[in-house]
Chain A
Amino acid sequence: MARATRHVGLPRWVFVPAAVGALFVVLPLLAMLDRVRWGDFLGLISSDSSVDALLLSLRTSAAATLLCVVLGVPMALVLARTSFPGQQLLRSLVLLPLVLPPVVGGIALLYTFGRRGLLGHTVDVLGLQIAFSTTAVVMAQTFVALPFLVVSLEGALRTAGGRYEAVAATLGARPTTVFRRVTLPLVLPGLASGAVLSFARALGEFGATITFAGSLQGVTRTLPLEIYLQRETDADAAVALSLVLVVVAVVVIGLARTRATP
């Protein structure tokens, strides 16, 4: 698919706004590094509440990513390999959380799964307690992260095309076998980077979580919520924890890049 393109020189002026843009992103991160009090760094990030928040964030983001894969792969398949009336509209709706402010997502979840929400009664009858639970955190994260997986995987599926699948089918492979032996291996890099993006999005989730799940140490207070709270009293701790999140994000992006370009 990648045709060898001859390197054409860029107009020189392009480099100026490009450099400004890069600075705009990098400078605040450097400014934050400058603010970290390295002497107390370990003490600040190893407090009980910080460790609880980091572990909770990693746990819930992993769970949310798993949910995204379980739900998102079939969604991407349906969007990429079938056509039915209203598909465009459905795609737009499913991808809505990408552009929706997360707080809006949190409010929507609240009025769906909250105690007095649309499904609140059903949830109650089933004996589930979603409000103020870690489950609510995972749901909020899944809500905002799912479109990332669907978008990357649908793109991968379209790029891969259906030729190999068609050949496999003519050779007598059942649809499930085609999916398992042909489709999945073809789009695995796309799936991997989609999953990493979803994980990163879940890790950074703040608005939907604070609206829908609340904030309690070890139960619903994820790292972004902890940072926001620490900032009230202890700016140093907030900066130190922010740096932890930046490091995690850099690692995640690094992973995504190495996976995406094998």
Chain B
Amino acid sequence: MKRWIGAAAVVALLAASAACGSDDSSDKASSGSKDQTLTVFAAASLTGTFTELGKKFEAEHQGVTVKFSFAGSSDLVAQIQQGAPADVFASADTANMDKATGDDLTKGDPVDFATNTLEIAVPPDNPAGVTSLQDLAKPGTKVVVCAAEVPCGAAAQKVEAASKVTIKPVSEEQSVTDVLGKVTSGEADAGLVYVTDVKAAGDKVKGITFPETTSAVNTYPIATLSGGKHADLGKQFVDLVTGSTGQQVLADAGFAKP
């Protein structure tokens, strides 16, 4: 029986290690050659746009590979504070960028390059008949929002306060993608997500705009990092994002100008 417990423990360990993806961003450009790897840490909501911009950047720069790490901005800042080798950091809010600048981890001042606002996402058939922010407060409507600890939750609270609507959510999720997941799977009647998330989800959700959304505008800053090894390349990537090409890609995805 001991053997079985041992086997179970081993299996559990294996399962645990399988569950934890490794994010080694350590394969540095092979020294001597011209091949360089630019490492960009970007907020999860930038996954689509930055992947596209990364390809454009690689096309324009021979021998350069752009590697992305997409995660929650606070996760990324924590990793940068722990010495993760990143050249560029794009945050989904100013609060997390402030943490980086506060610790002198950025080179120069961060530049705001996009803004994002909240929108109501409902399943395509809109089972609860939601048409306004006020509808989210109706009893029986299953609303999912982000927890106040993450940027999209802070934005939701601001919107609630400004519109004097009190939403009683059935769940306060960890990230905006979790909120969207609960809506696309039909578990929730409505969720508060970003305009860009609704756009990216295509016809899996329906977006409902509401006037009160202007009370919470999320600003996205970008900066090169002092711990990075490719300062010039990093600067050029920032220029691409803030330049006309980058702004067009971001606008297409639903981001607004800062």
Which residue from chain A places its CB closest to the CB of B81 in the assembled complex? Answer: A235
Whether the pair A216, B178 counts as a contact (CB closer than 8 A) is: no
Produce 1/0 per residue, A140-160, CB < 8 A to B: 000000011001101110010
Q: Which of A98, A114, A189, A221 contacts B8 (CB 8 A)?
A: A98
Contact A232 B171 (CB under 8 A): no
**Known: A151-B7, A235-B78. Contact between A229 and B186, CB under 8 A?**
no
B185 touches A110 (CB 8 A): yes
**What is the CB-to-nearest-CB distance from A148 to chain B, in angstroms, rounded to a whole number?**
6
- How many residues of B are counted as interface, with CB atoms below 8 angstroms from the partner's CB atoms? 34
Decide if B187 touches A216 in the complex (CB within 8 Å).
no
Q: Which residues of B contact A98 (CB under 8 A)?
A: 8, 11-12, 15
Flag if A132 contacts B187 (CB, 8 Å): yes
Task: List the count of A-B residue pairs having beta carbons below 8 Å apart.
Answer: 104
Partner of A220, one of B78, B149, B171: B171
In-complex Cβ contact of B12 among A101, A190, A201, A213 (8 A): A201
Q: Using CB atoms, name the residue of chain A closest to B189.
A: A115
Interface size on A, residues (CB 8 A): 45
Q: Which residues of chain A from 176 to 220 have a CB within 8 Å of any chain B CB?
A: 189-190, 193, 197, 201, 207, 210-211, 213-217, 220
Q: How far is the CB of A258 from chain B (nearest CB, A)?
A: 14
| Chain A residue nearest to B5 in the complex (CB) | A152
A216 engages B169 (CB within 8 Å): yes
Chain B nearest CB, measured from A129 CB (Å): 9
Contact of A99 among B11, B74, B149 (CB under 8 A): B11
- Name 30 interchain pairs, CB-CB below 8 A, sorted by A: A98-B8, A99-B11, A99-B18, A101-B15, A110-B185, A111-B185, A116-B185, A132-B142, A132-B188, A148-B8, A151-B8, A152-B5, A152-B8, A155-B1, A155-B4, A189-B1, A190-B1, A193-B5, A201-B12, A214-B170, A214-B173, A215-B171, A215-B174, A221-B172, A229-B147, A230-B149, A232-B72, A232-B147, A235-B78, A260-B5
B-binding residues in A (CB < 8 A): 98-103, 110-111, 114-116, 131-132, 147-148, 151-152, 154-156, 159, 189-190, 193, 197, 201, 207, 210-211, 213-217, 220-221, 225, 228-233, 235, 260
Q: Give B contacts to A, CB under 8 Å.
A: 1-5, 7-8, 11-12, 14-15, 18-19, 72, 74, 78, 142, 144, 147, 149-150, 169-174, 178, 181-182, 185-188
Q: Please name 18 further chain A to chain B contacts, defined as beta carbons within 8 Å, in addition to the given A217-B172, A260-B2, sorted by A numbering.
A: A98-B15, A114-B186, A147-B8, A151-B8, A152-B4, A152-B5, A152-B8, A155-B4, A214-B170, A214-B171, A214-B173, A214-B187, A215-B173, A228-B174, A229-B150, A230-B149, A232-B74, A233-B74
Q: Which 4 A-B pairs have the closest CB atoms?
A: A214-B171, A155-B4, A132-B170, A116-B186
